[in-house]
Amino acid sequence: MTYQFLAGFWWGGASSAPQSEGAAAEGGKGKTIWDHWYELEPERFYQKVGPNDTDDFFHRYEEDVELMCKAGFNSFRTSLSWARLIPDGDGEVNQEGVQFYRRMISCLREHGIRPVLNLYHFDMPLALQQQGGWENRHTVDAFVRYASFCFDTFGDLAEDWLTFNEPIVPVEGGYLYGFHYPAVCDMKRAVQVGYHTMLASAGAIAQGRAKHPEFRFGIVLNLTPSYPRDAADPGDAEASRIADLLFNRSFLTPSVRGCWPEGLGEILGRYGWLPERAAGEKEILEKGTIDFLGVNYYQPRRVQKKQTPCSAPKLPEDLFSYYQWEDAEMNTSRGWEIYPKGVYDIAVMLRDEYGNLPWYISENGIGIMDEEQFADETGMILDDYRIRFIRRHLTWLAQAMQEGCACFGYHIWTFLDNWSWCNAFKNRYGLVRLDKEHGNARIPKRSFAWFAQTAATNSIELEKGEMARYERGSLSQCEKTMGDNGIRNVCALRTFHL
């Protein structure tokens, strides 16, 4: 059965400056926390591969953009590097950085690819981190200045802007679980970092919108639906509510509605975790709401109540426990559960609880270790598992769209295998293989041609049986509601010009 997507649906991919550009010390770029951390502790990075050793997109973007065209991309998200544009994070501008981004964005446009520009992808300029990073209110103002500079400088080349990619991740990585610099563990500081990040996003949007009303502003959030072990058990249901508030709604509700989600303040207050706030900030949050949302979806969150309640919680996990779902399908390379229905659940939640705002899948993909084991004699990776992974997620997305959810695009993570933080090149996510042994050659995988074909026809063959998988034995909802000819979705997107 074929599903036809609406005309203008975004087909493309996402990447980020720190994971693809390389040239960490070239072109006048300032240091980021990643450059610094690698200098301090190279052994934290898989095979000691650091942030200078990525895809060399800085020098090879033209070749990559040509390939994106062949993959059928009509849109591409990457981030601008704050430290490449403003080496100290605030103050002097690096004109070489400006010229690089103008050339790169123009190249995308010349090839008919819509640039979707993100301002921050985990890459704090070191100079600002040395003054406290997101803990320091000054960083919020510096970010708003940086954002406004980008809107003015590149606004003739791009109109779709994102403030942050997964703002909860630097909170988790840097201030709770130790996988980002500065790798401290302190819930109160973590909440302050989260609050200031949200404020920076809203401040940038409020200011940008006042000056550039024609732009569309958004944020990318990694939404991880929280599933309780037993929904009928009040303890498990409460565990799921808390996890959802802390990890999803903490950024989702302020971004969409300009206020805190009900219940979050009560939880933070109960344990002395409330952030410091200043007069006038509530109004900034109210003004800086988004026009559209990017949803990164990789895995669900499975939670249950704590067997022994913790008397003095210090971390979110002191308020609930994780558990392994007995039916879980795992991507063992990454240790993440594969649960395509999560896409549908997110879509319905956004439709029913967040006014059906326009959104797109801004990242979805599968990272696999030792992928060369799947190469054929020509060196092409036969990544049928990736094709199936994408198709299963698109099947649920199609179902959600069929039910009126306002999704307008799908971006794969990622186009070309790239550097992944402390995991470096361990897990490969690309439609294109990066052959590090042969001068970083770009070699399309089998999924590349499949993606191109899908984008060209703007349709997919639904994954048979996918919907039935979680509905034990019943005829899938999808098969019940989708006619043989496929049905176009009709949703709020009429007002959101693609």
Contact positions vs ligand BGP (CB under 6 A): 16, 19, 165-166, 169, 222, 296, 334, 363, 367, 413, 420-421, 423, 427
Least distance in Å: CB of 294 to ligand BGP? 10
3-class SS of residue 327: coil
Work out how close the CB of 430 gets to ligand BGP at its nearest, in angstroms, rounded to a whole number: 11
Separation CA 173–CA 168 (nearest Å) = 9
Q: Are 81 and 18 in contact (CB under 8 A)?
A: yes
- Residue closer to ligand BGP, measured from CB, 239 or 390: 390
Please say which residue, 420 or 489, places its beta carbon nearer to ligand BGP. 420
Query: Of the two residues 228 and 342, which places its CB atom closer to ligand BGP in the complex?
Result: 342
Give the 3-state DSSP-derived string for 119-168, with helices as H, strands as E and coil as C: CCCCCCEHHHHCCCHHHCHHHHHHHHHHHHHHHHHHCCCCCEEEEEECCH
Residue whose tokens read 């558990």: 323
- Nearest CA among 145, 161, 158 for reference residue 86: 145
**Could you please report the per-residue DSSP string of 394-461?**
HHHHHHHHHTT--EEEEEES-SB---BGGGBTSEE--SEEEEGGGTTEEEE-HHHHHHHHHHHHTEEE
Question: Is there a catalytic annotation at residue 41?
Answer: no
- Minimum Å gap between C-beta 452 and ligand BGP is 22
CB-CB contact of 97 with 89 (8 Å): no
3-state secondary structure of 368: strand
| Shortest Å distance, C-beta 48 to ligand BGP | 17
Contact assessment for residue 446 and residue 457, using Cβ atoms and an 8 Å cutoff: no
Query: What's the closest the beta carbon of residue 421 comes to ligand BGP, in angstroms?
Result: 6
* CA distance linking residue 108 with residue 226, whole number of Å: 37
How far apart (Å, rounded) are the C-alpha atoms in residues 321 and 305? 6
Distance between CA atoms of residues 413 and 13, nearest Å: 6
For residue 385, with 0-12 CB atoms within 10 Å meaning exposed, 13-18 middle and 19 or more buried, which class applies? Answer: middle
Pick between residue 153 and residue 423 the one whose CB is nearest to ligand BGP. Answer: 423
What backbone torsions phi and psi does residue 329 show, to the nearest 5 degrees? -105, 130
Residue with Cβ nearer ligand BGP (294 or 358): 294
Neighbouring CB atoms inside 10 A of 301's CB total: 18
Q: 402 or 420, CB closer to ligand BGP?
A: 420
363 in active site: yes
Instruction: Give min distance, CB of 362 to ligand BGP, in A.
Output: 9
The residue annotated as part of the active site, out of 21, 135, 166, 337, is 166
Minimum Å distance from CB 123 to ligand BGP?
Answer: 10
Among the listed residues 281, 363, 371, 466, the single catalytic one is 363
> Which residues carry out catalysis?
166, 363
